[in-house]
Amino acid sequence: MKLITHNILQNNMKDGKKGYPLVLQATKIDKVIAEFNQEFLLRMLDRLEYHVLIHALEMIGMKDFLPIILPENCSEDEAFMKNLHHALLEIDIIEGELICPESGRKFPIKDGIPNMLLTDEEEMAVDSEPKSK
């Protein structure tokens, strides 16, 4: 699981509040190589929760290569965009777990794949109220 996915993942179980962002604990991390695409990164920036990304990097002990606050005119900052690319797409969480900040429910990550499966009881508690657009 890359951090771009961590940035959009949430636990849908109704626990009062929303299950986002998920706490990330990693025991095994791989580095992969992804093709740099400036346009894709710009498109992701408009939906990214930047502070969640920074916090995720912190939780896996890699916080130092991105600024804590998103820089202004960051799209023109080549070094920043390269680092953002690396943070979102080249860090692969292989083993670990995701933890719901609200309920404490743990979702294990094995061989790079988070297990988001709920039990039948938990399924009953999924928030399926439609949201307006």
Q: Are 21 and 132 in contact (CB under 8 A)?
A: no
- Give 16 or 64: the residue with its C-beta nearer to other proteins: 16
Q: How many residues bind other proteins (CB under 8 A)?
A: 39
- Give 40 or 64: the residue with its C-beta nearer to other proteins: 40
DSSP 68: S
Q: Establish if 113 lies at the interface with other proteins (CB under 8 A).
A: yes
Range in contact with other proteins (rule: CB under 8 A) among 23-31, 35-43, 61-69, 76-84: 35-43
Q: Are 34 and 118 in contact (CB under 8 A)?
A: no
Range in contact with other proteins (rule: CB under 8 A) among 1-9, 57-65, 67-75, 76-84: 1-9
Q: Establish if 28 lies at the interface with other proteins (CB under 8 A).
A: no
Helix axis angle, 50-59 to 78-89, nearest 10°: 60
Q: Establish if 68 lies at the interface with other proteins (CB under 8 A).
A: no
Shortest distance (Å) from residue 3 CB to other proteins: 10
Distances (CA, A) of 94 to 29, 32, 33, 50, 102: 5, 11, 15, 22, 24
